[in-house]
């Protein structure tokens, strides 16, 4: 079985900003399944964790990555993670938070460190993975 996890901008910036080992933490939290990309050339039954990123999140990371600030570096790393380790999904809405809330029922979890987005997702009935403590993730359920 595949566990589908959507990542927002703040989640993809966590490895630099908060020293979170994002994919290892996801493995720990959702049962030790391997985090993988969606394409499995073996043809085996898909298993593990599929990370999904809306195109609007990629665009937000691209805008934030201009410059040499710590935020820009974190956004650049996040953009690389999004394209290398996640499946990018298209959606007609352009605001990343709105896309995540609208698509939340399609995902098993949404990862964010954005307080207002976390509340919107919980209100919409979506389980949220967020930072807890220094560099660990935790799950909040509606």
Residue 64's domain is classified under what CATH number? Answer: 3.40.50.1010
At residue 53's C-alpha, the angle toward residues 111 and 142, to 5°, is: 30
Supply the pLDDT for residue 134. 84
- pLDDT tens readout for residues 118-133: 999 999 999 999 999 8
* Percent of the chain clearing pLDDT 70 (strictly above): 89
Look up the pTM and report it.
Answer: 0.88
- For the cut 50, the answer to whether the pLDDT of residue 32 exceeds it is yes
How many domains does the chain fold into?
1
Contact 88, 53 (CB under 8 A): yes
CA atoms within 13 A on the CB side of 36: 13
pLDDT at 94: 82
Residue range(s) defining the domain that contains residue 133: 2-140
Beta bridge partners of 131: 137
Q: Which helix (H) or strand (E) holds 54?
A: strand 48-54
């Amino acid at each position: 079985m595949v566990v589908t996890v959507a990542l927002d901008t703040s989640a993809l910036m966590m490895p630099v900003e908060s020293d979170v080992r994002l994919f290892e933490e996801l493995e720990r939290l959702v049962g030790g399944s391997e985090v993988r990309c969606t394409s499995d050339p073996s043809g085996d039954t898909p298993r593990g964790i599929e990370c999904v990123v809306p195109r609007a999140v990629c665009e937000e990371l691209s805008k934030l990555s201009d410059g040499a600030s710590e935020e820009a570096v974190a956004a650049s790393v996040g953009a690389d993670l999004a394209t290398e380790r996640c499946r990018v999904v298209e959606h007609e809405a352009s605001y990343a938070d709105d896309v995540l809330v609208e698509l939340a029922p399609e995902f098993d979890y949404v990862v964010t460190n954005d307080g207002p987005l976390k509340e919107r997702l919980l209100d919409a009935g979506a389980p949220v993975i967020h930072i807890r403590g220094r560099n660990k993730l935790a799950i909040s359920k509606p």
